Amino acid sequence: MADTVDLEGEQYQKHREAGEILAQVREETADRVEVGVTHLEIAEYAEDRIRELGGTPAFPVNISIDEEAAHATPAIDDEETFGEEMINLDIGVHIDGWLADTAITVDLSGHDDLAEAPEAALEAAIDLVEPGVETGEIGRAIEEAIDGYGYNPVVNLTGHGLGHWEQHTSPNIPNRAVDQGTTLEVGDVVALEPFATDGGGKVNEGSSEEIFSLQDDRSVRDRGAREALEQIKEEFRTLPFATRWLETARPEMALRRLKSRGVIHGYPVLKEDEGRLVSQKEHTVIVTEDGCEVTTASR
C-alpha cells in the first residue's frame, strides 16, 4: 500500500470496530474458563456475544488444549470439559468482511512462565512495528523474547495479514528470525501471533477436523450437501466455519460429500510434534505513519 492510504477510511473503521468488539469478548470469555466448564459452553458464549455486540464471528472459536496449537473447536453436542490444562482461546470478528483476530492463553496447569512467554514476545513485536520494518526483524524479536524464558517459538506457525473476507493473507509474520522477509507499509493490517512451547518448536496435523472453508463452488446432487453449500456461500463466504454452525439435518454427512467433491477443505487440529505444551498470544495491528495501532487492545 502507498503511504497516502486513508487510515480514517471506512475499511479501517470497520477493522477498528471489529477489534473493539473482540477485545471485550476475549476478556469476558477468558474470565469464564475454569475447571469443569464445557468447551462448547465457552465457544458458544463467545460467538453469541460477538453477535450481541454487533459483529460476526470471523471463524469458529479455537479452543486448544495442552499440545494443541490451532484449529480445535467443539463438535456438535460436545461435552468435553476443562481440566487443569493450558488453554488457548483464538477468536475472530468481522464487520462486513473486515477482520480482527486475537488469542490469549488461560493457564490452569501451573506453567506461568510458559504462558507469559508469548505475551512478552507479542509486546516486543508490537514495539517494532512501523513502516519500513522487515517481518524477519519482528520474527527475531519474537524468538529472542521466547528464548529468554527458556522456551522455543513454534516456527512453522506465523502471524499473518488480514484481508477483506480473508483470514490469512500476506504478509506472513514469522515467529523466528529469517533473513528475507516482507517490508511493512502504512495501512497493512496484520495479526501478530507468537506461539511458545516447551517442546521442539514444530506442529503437525492431527486427524480431527471440525473447521472447514469453501474451496471451489461446484454443483452437488445431494440435497443436504446443496443446503449446506448455500448456507456456506451466503453466510460464511470464504471464511472458516464449524460443523456445528450448519443448519442442515445431517451436517457431518453433508460435509463429507462436499469435501469428497473438492468443494470445501478442512483444517486438521495442529499439535506440537513432541506432545509438549503450547501457549499463544495474539493482537491485530494497523501499521500507521509512526508505528502501529493495536485494534484488539483491552479498553
Catalytic positions: 90, 101, 160, 168, 193, 282
Q: Is 116 marked within a binding site?
A: no
**Which residues are CB-neighbours of 221 under 8 A, at least 6 positions away?**
none
Q: Is 283 marked within a binding site?
A: no
> What is the C-alpha separation between 251 and 165, in angstroms, rounded?
23
Per the rule left: phi > 0, alpha: psi between -120 and 50, beta: everything else, 235 is alpha
Helix (H/G/I), strand (E/B), else coil: 297: coil
Q: Is 282 marked within a binding site?
A: yes
**Which residues are CB-neighbours of 257 under 8 A, at least 6 positions away?**
220, 222, 224, 225
Q: Is 94 marked within a binding site?
A: no
CA-wise closest residue to 104 among 297, 270, 255 = 297
Q: Is 193 marked within a binding site?
A: yes
Residue with cell 524464558: 149
Q: Is 111 marked within a binding site?
A: no
> What is the C-alpha separation between 141 and 121, in angstroms, rounded?
7
Sign for the CA dihedral angle at 103, 106, 109, 113 comes to positive
* Annotated binding-site positions: 71, 90, 101, 160, 168, 193, 282
* Annotated binding-site positions for a divalent metal cation: 90, 101, 160, 193, 282
* Annotated binding-site positions for substrate: 71, 168
